[in-house]
Chains A and B, each alone.
Chain A
Amino acid sequence: MFCTRVIARKLYVNVSRLKVRHKPFCTDAATRVSGSNCGQPSPEHKETHDLSNNIQHYDIAIVGGGMVGMALACSLASMPLTKHLNVAIIDSNPALGSRPYFNKEDPPDPRVSTVTPATISFFKDVGAWQYVEQHRHAYFDKMQVWDYTGLGYTRYNAQDINKEVLGCVVENKVLHGSLLSCIENTDFQKTIYPSKLSSMTLPPSPSSLGMDSTSSRPPLSSQRHLAKLELSDGNSLYTKLVVGADGGKSCVRELAGFKTTGWNYSQNAIICTVEHTVENGCAWQRFLPAGPIALLPMGDNFSNIVWTMNPKESTNRKLMNEDEFVKDVNNALDYGYGPHPTSSLFGSGEMFSWPRAGVTLSANDCFEVPPKVVKLASERMVFPLSLRHASDYVSKHVVLIGDAAHTVHPLAGQGVNMGFGDAFALSRVIAEGIAVGSDIGEVTVLKKYEAERKPANIMMMGILDGFQKAYSVDFGPLNILRAAALHGAHFISPLKRSIISYASGEQKLPLFT
C-alpha cells in the first residue's frame, strides 16, 4: 500500500517533468513565465525573437485576412513610411497560404463587389489593380434605377460625373487574390497565422503609471505596452496594434468591448450568377415592393443578381426549379409588379426642366429594359440583411476596419468600398504617425482615422438605410413621392451628380459640394 503510493508519486513527478520539457513547444504555457525574464528586444522595428519563449513581436496584427484586411496590408506595403513594418495576419482561410489561381472557363462566383472609381484608384495606387485586370472584371458606364410603380426612373452615365466608368463588378475571390498577388510581389515582412483569435490581453492604461510603481516594483517589461494575442492553435504573439478586420461578427470588436448599434431588416438577399444571350454593359436596379433587385454586369454574357425579399419568399425562390426562378427574375426586371415608367408622367418632366440648361445629357436617355436572363449559372445563396455600426472604431492598441466597424445593406454594393476606404485611411494615418515618431498603438494617432471615416460611413449608412426604408412600404402617396424623388434625381443634374459622386466613393458631402 505504502509502496504503491510512492510509485504513484514518482510517476507524477516524471509526468510533470515531461510537461516541463514540452513547455517550449507549448507557447501558451510558456507565456505565463515570459513577463519577468523578457530578453533584450531589438531597438529596430524588426521582428524580435524572444529567446526565453517563442513569442513573436509585431508592429501590427491584422485579425482577418479577407479583402479589407489584405487591402490594409497591401497599402502598408506600398508606402515608404510603412513598408518596414512587421505585420502578422491572422486568418484560418487556407486561400491565404496558396497562390491564387482562377480558371477563366468557370462561370463567375456569385459573391461579387461593385467597386467604385475611388476603390479602383486605391487598388491602382497599391499596385493590385493590374492583377484584377488579368482576370474577369466588368466595367460599367451606365446605370438605370427605376421603380415598380412605373412612376419614376433615372439613368446615370459616367460622363455625368466626368468619369470614364461608374464602377467595376469584380468577383470577391478575384479582388482578394489580386491583393494577395500584389503583396507576394513585395518584400514586405508579413507572417500569416492560419488560425483564429481566441483571446486578447491589452496593456493597462498609461495613467496608472504612478510614481509609487517607480520605487518598489521591478522594472517594467517592454511587453507592458503591447497587446498580447492568443490563437486557437496555441500560438501567441505581441503587437503594438491590433486591427480588427474580421467582419460583421468581429471577434476583436467583442474582445475589446466595443459597443454596436444596429438592427436586422427582416429581409434576405438572394445572390446568384445568371447568363444572357448578349453582353450586359449596364448596372440595373429596380425597386420592388419587397426590396430592390439588382442586375450587375460581370463580363462575357454573365450578370450577377442581388435580390432582396422577405425570408419566406427567399426560401421559396432558393428551392424552386431553375426555370421558374429565371422566369421570376425576368418578371421582376420587366413587367412584373407594375408597368414600365415613362417620362411623360408628371407633365413630361416640365416641372423638373428648369435646371436642365443643357447639362443633363443623360436626362434624355429613354427607359430601357434589361437584357433577358436565359440561364442560372451558379447556386443561389441566401444572406440575411442587417445594419450594424460600432460606436467607436478605436481604443488604445485596437482599431476596427471594414464590416467589423460597420455592416450595411448590400443595396449599392457600398459595404466593401467603405471597408477599402477604411483600409486606405488607416494606412495613411499610420504613415503620418510614423513620420512624426508616434507610437502607432496610441489612441491619439488612431483617433484621426476614426474622425475621418466615421462621419463618411455614417452618412453612407444613413443614405442606404433611408433608401431601404423608403422602399419597404407600399403605400400610394409614398410611392408617388418616391417616384418624384427618382424623377427629381434624374432631371436635376447637379444634385444627381453629387449623389453619384458620393456613391462612387468621393469624399464629399452630397448637396453641399
Chain B
Amino acid sequence: MASKLVRHSHLRALSSSISINNHIHSPHFSNPNRAPLSFSYRLFSNASSSSSSTGGFQRSSSLKDLELAKFASIAETWWDSEGPFKPLHVMNPTRLAFIRSTLCRHFRKDPNSARPFEGLKIVDVGCGGGILSEPLARMGATVTGVDAVEKNIKIARIHADLDPVASTIEYCCTTAEKLVEEDRKFDAVIALEVIEHVANPAEFCKSLAALTVPDGATIISTINRSMRSYATAIVAAEYLLHWLPKGTHEWSSFLTPEELVLILQRANITVREMAGFVYNPLTGRWSLSDDISVNFIAFGTKNCQ
C-alpha cells in the first residue's frame, strides 16, 4: 500500500509552520455581523463519493458500502427542501457565494453577470442529487456531476431534466479516480463535504489535482477537527438537534485546515483562500466568516509545472 493513510498527528506536527491565507473576499455575500453563536454541523451531501478515493483500495470498502447504503436510503428526498436535506438547501447559497466570488476573480469573470461561469468546465465530485451542479449550470458553467451512488445520479438526472438550463449537465455514476483514468480535465474541480468520508484524503487530493488544468481551480469544503466541531457537528447536530442521523460523522477522520493545506500542497495545489461557515440560529441562515473552527471551505489553484 504505497499510499498509506497519512496519520493526522504526523500532519499536525508538520502543519505548524504553514500560514493560511484565510482572506475572504465576497463583498456581496459575506455577512459582516458575525453571529453571536455559531452552531455548525457537518454536511453529508457528498458522502457517497467516499468511494472515489478508494477506487482500488479494498480496505475501506466496508465503510464505503455502509455509507452508500445510508445515503441511498434517503436519496429520493434530495430535492425536498423541507426534507432530511433541508440544512443543505439552506446552506447551499452560502457555499455558492464563496465559489462565485473566488472563481469570478480567478478566471476574471464579470461578477455582475447572471451567467459568470460561461465557458468554464466544472466537475462536481460527489454531486449527490445535483444540489450544487444545477446552480453551477444556471450560472453558465458546463457541468459534469459524478457520484458513486447510482440512485443519486438517477435522481439528479430526473431533476435536472425539469429545467432546460440544468438539463445540459452531464451526470455519471463514477469516481474521481476513473475520471483521471479517462484523462478528463476541468477548469475547476469542486468536492464539497466529501473528503472527510474518504479513506485516503491525500490520494483523493491527488486525483482532484489530476483533473484540474494547470492554473485551474480546486475547491474543497469539509469540517474541522476541533473541540467546537465535536460539540456542534456531532453533539448538537446529531444528538440534540437531530439535523443529521446519528453516526453520520466520525470526528477523528476530520481534517484540520492546516492538514488540508498540506496535503493539497503535496498534490501541487496552492490554497489561496479559506473561509468558514457560521450558522446564525436567530435568522436560520448561514454566512461566510473568518471563523474556520467548524465548517470551512478552501479555494486553491493548481501550480503550473
| Shortest Cβ-Cβ A-B pairs, 4 listed | A437-B135, A436-B96, A207-B80, A225-B162
Are A219 and B137 in touch, CB under 8 angstroms? no
Known: A45-B114, A211-B154. A435 touches B97 (CB 8 A): yes
Are B162 and A434 in touch, CB under 8 angstroms? no
Residues of B within 8 A of A443 (CB): 81
Residues of A within 8 A of B137 (CB): 437
Contact with A214, one of B89, B100, B115, B154 (Cβ below 8 angstroms): B154
Are A213 and B164 in touch, CB under 8 angstroms? no
Are A43 and B165 in touch, CB under 8 angstroms? yes
Task: Give A205's nearest chain B residue, CB to CB.
Answer: B80
Interface hits, B122-181 → A, CB 8 Å: 134-139, 151, 154-155, 158-159, 161-165, 167-168
Judged by a CB distance under 8 angstroms, whether B17 is at the interface is no
Residues of A within 8 A of B82 (CB): 207
Are B163 and A222 in touch, CB under 8 angstroms? yes
Q: Give CA–CA (A436, B113) in the complex, Å.
A: 11
In the complex, the number of residue pairs spanning A and B with C-beta atoms less than 8 Å apart equals 92
Are B97 and A207 in touch, CB under 8 angstroms? no
Judged by a CB distance under 8 angstroms, whether A476 is at the interface is no
Residues of A within 8 A of B161 (CB): 219-220, 222
Task: Give A396's nearest chain B residue, CB to CB.
Answer: B81
Known: A209-B155, A209-B158. A434 touches B114 (CB 8 A): yes
Return the CB mask of A443-458 against B: 1 if under 8 Å, else 0.
Answer: 1100000010000000
- In the complex, besides A207-B83, A220-B162, 4 extra interface pairs with C-beta distance below 8 angstroms are A81-B113, A222-B161, A437-B135, A444-B90
Are B92 and A207 in touch, CB under 8 angstroms? no
Q: Give CA–CA (A442, B165) in the complex, Å.
A: 15
Interface hits, A416-431 → B, CB 8 Å: none
Residues of A within 8 A of B83 (CB): 207
Q: Give CA–CA (A214, B158) in the complex, Å.
A: 7
Are B112 and A438 in touch, CB under 8 angstroms? no
Judged by a CB distance under 8 angstroms, whether B290 is at the interface is no
Judged by a CB distance under 8 angstroms, whether A210 is at the interface is yes
- Could you list 6 examples of A-B contacts with CB < 8 Å? A45-B114, A207-B80, A207-B83, A211-B154, A219-B161, A444-B90
Residues of A within 8 A of B112 (CB): 80-81
Judged by a CB distance under 8 angstroms, whether B79 is at the interface is yes
Q: Give CA–CA (A219, B162) in the complex, Å.
A: 9
Q: Give CA–CA (A214, B153) in the complex, Å.
A: 11
Residues of B within 8 A of A205 (CB): 80
Q: Give CA–CA (A224, B165) in the complex, Å.
A: 14
Judged by a CB distance under 8 angstroms, whether A48 is at the interface is yes
Q: Give CA–CA (A385, B80) in the complex, Å.
A: 41
Residues of B within 8 A of A442 (CB): 81
Q: Give CA–CA (A436, B136) in the complex, Å.
A: 8
Return the CB mask of B61-103 against A: 1 if under 8 Å, else 0.
Answer: 0000000000000011101111100000110110011001000
Interface hits, A26-61 → B, CB 8 Å: 41-45, 48
B30 shortest CB reach to chain A, Å: 13
Listed in ascending order, the chain A residues whose CB lies under 8 Å from chain B are 41-45, 48, 80-82, 84, 205-207, 209-211, 213-214, 219-220, 222, 224-225, 432-439, 442-444, 451
Are B76 and A436 in touch, CB under 8 angstroms? no
Are A211 and B151 in touch, CB under 8 angstroms? yes
Judged by a CB distance under 8 angstroms, whether B7 is at the interface is no
Residues of A within 8 A of B4 (CB): none
Residues of B within 8 A of A44 (CB): 165
Q: Give CA–CA (A433, B139) in the complex, Å.
A: 11
**Chain B interface residue count, Cβ-Cβ cutoff 8 angstroms:** 40
Question: Which of B114, B155, B167 has the most C-beta atoms of chain A within 10 angstroms of its own C-beta?
Answer: B114
Task: Give B90's nearest chain A residue, CB to CB.
Answer: A444
Q: Give CA–CA (A222, B167) in the complex, Å.
A: 9
Contact with A209, one of B76, B100, B113 (Cβ below 8 angstroms): B76
Return the CB mask of B226-270 against A: 1 if under 8 Å, else 0.
Answer: 000000000000000000000000000000000000000000000
Are A48 and B100 in touch, CB under 8 angstroms? no
Residues of B within 8 A of A432 (CB): 93
Return the CB mask of B198-216 against A: 1 if under 8 Å, else 0.
Answer: 0000000000000000000
Are B100 and A435 in touch, CB under 8 angstroms? yes
Task: Give A215's nearest chain B residue, CB to CB.
Answer: B154
Are B159 and A222 in touch, CB under 8 angstroms? no
Q: Give CA–CA (A206, B77) in the complex, Å.
A: 8
Q: Give CA–CA (A421, B287) in the complex, Å.
A: 24
Are B139 and A222 in touch, CB under 8 angstroms? no
Are B79 and A211 in touch, CB under 8 angstroms? no
Q: Give CA–CA (A42, B163) in the complex, Å.
A: 10
Q: Give CA–CA (A207, B121) in the complex, Å.
A: 30
Judged by a CB distance under 8 angstroms, whether B59 is at the interface is no
Task: Give B167's nearest chain A residue, CB to CB.
Answer: A222
Q: Give CA–CA (A438, B100) in the complex, Å.
A: 12
Q: Give CA–CA (A406, B254) in the complex, Å.
A: 49
Judged by a CB distance under 8 angstroms, whether B28 is at the interface is yes
Known: A435-B28, A436-B97. A41 touches B164 (CB 8 A): yes
Task: Give B80's nearest chain A residue, CB to CB.
Answer: A207
Q: Give CA–CA (A401, B158) in the complex, Å.
A: 32
Are A42 and B164 in touch, CB under 8 angstroms? yes
Residues of A within 8 A of B76 (CB): 207, 209-211
B115 shortest CB reach to chain A, Å: 8
A269 shortest CB reach to chain B, Å: 38
Are A222 and B162 in touch, CB under 8 angstroms? yes
Are B155 and A211 in touch, CB under 8 angstroms? yes
Task: Give B138's nearest chain A residue, CB to CB.
Answer: A437
Question: Which of A48, A205, A436, A439 has the most C-beta atoms of chain B within 10 angstroms of its own C-beta?
Answer: A436
Are A206 and B135 in touch, CB under 8 angstroms? no
Q: Give CA–CA (A436, B103) in the complex, Å.
A: 12
Are B154 and A224 in touch, CB under 8 angstroms? no
Q: Give CA–CA (A84, B140) in the complex, Å.
A: 14
Are B135 and A224 in touch, CB under 8 angstroms? no
Residues of B within 8 A of A436 (CB): 29, 92-93, 96-97, 100, 135, 139
Residues of A within 8 A of B100 (CB): 435-436
Known: A43-B164, A206-B79, A436-B92. A213 touches B158 (CB 8 A): yes
B58 shortest CB reach to chain A, Å: 30
Residues of A within 8 A of B139 (CB): 436-437
Q: Give CA–CA (A207, B82) in the complex, Å.
A: 9
Residues of B within 8 A of A451 (CB): 283
Are B81 and A444 in touch, CB under 8 angstroms? yes
Residues of A within 8 A of B90 (CB): 444
Task: Give B168's nearest chain A residue, CB to CB.
Answer: A43
Residues of A within 8 A of B114 (CB): 45, 80-82, 84, 434
Task: Give B97's nearest chain A residue, CB to CB.
Answer: A436
Are B135 and A209 in touch, CB under 8 angstroms? no
Q: Give CA–CA (A164, B23) in the complex, Å.
A: 41
Residues of B within 8 A of A48 (CB): 164
B105 shortest CB reach to chain A, Å: 14
Q: Give CA–CA (A83, B114) in the complex, Å.
A: 9
Residues of B within 8 A of A82 (CB): 114
Q: Give CA–CA (A211, B90) in the complex, Å.
A: 24
Residues of A within 8 A of B92 (CB): 436
Task: Give A79's nearest chain B residue, CB to CB.
Answer: B112
